[in-house]
Structure 1
Amino acid sequence: MRGRILSFMFLVLVCFLLSSCKSTPEDELRKTVWDQLSEHTKEELSDGWKNATITTETLKAGISSVKDSSYIGKEVYRVSFPSDRSYVLGNVTAFVDMDTKKVIGFDLRD
């Protein structure tokens, strides 16, 4: 009986650990965008990709370095990584195509 209880508790623990290891769609997007950043940019992001915030936004002209004007007026992801230099320049914020998950440009920094 005791062996069954221990086996059951072990099984519950394993299931809990495995379920917590699954990545969310948001985590996958954060990691995908992180992988597209230059090494130079990553150097100022000591927190890595896990603390990035994700929002959606209608892209407006003049607020970013997006060169493809076909994105103006369209909904895109805005993925913002906390920067070690945010007090001077602000965070590193990438605009991302919602379908392809490709970085299309960056928010302007001070």
Structure 2
Amino acid sequence: MKIKLMLLCFLLMMTLIGCSKGTTESKSLDEMKMREIAWNSLEEAERKTVIGDWKQAEVTLAKWDDIGVKTAKEKSKSIARVLFKTTFDPLLGSIGIYIDTDANKIIGYDLRM
């Protein structure tokens, strides 16, 4: 009986570990896709000002009201913000790009002063 209980606990633990690992990987893939969409939208001059590896850009969830300059007319339900740190951050601020995660399209930008 004790062996059956230990075996059951082991199988349950392996199932939970397997499920959580898959969730983390899919989240990373979504974040990388958002980074790629944002990076590909930048002009070469903007790319040259980005500090560090663009593949490490910060990706966060955002709301429609957070977008400074909207390029879409319809509200999106799921929005990601990709933030690139640049050499001009002290003067203009970082480059922030908002992406509709369902359509994988850019829907807005942060204001840069």
TM-score where L is the length of structure 1: 0.66
Partner of 2:41: 36
Q: How many residues align?
A: 87
In structure 2, stretches of 5+ residues that fail to align are 1-24
Identity %, equivalent residues = 29
Rounded to whole Å, the distance in 1 between the matches of 2:100 and 2:50 is 22
Deviations along 1:69-110, whole A, 9 cap, x unmatched?
A: 3127x4311110111111111110000011122222211112
Rounded to whole Å, the distance in 2 between the matches of 1:79 and 1:55 is 7
Partner of 2:79: 76
Alignment match of 2:52 (pick from 38, 47, 50): 47
Alignment match of 2:108 (pick from 85, 88, 105): 105
Alpha-carbon offset, residue 28 of structure 1:
3.0
SS of structure 1 residue aligned to 2:38 = helix
In structure 1, stretches of 5+ residues that fail to align are 1-21
More helix by share: 2
Rounded to whole Å, the distance in 2 between the matches of 1:86 and 1:104 is 22
Two-structure CA RMSD over aligned residues (Å): 2.4
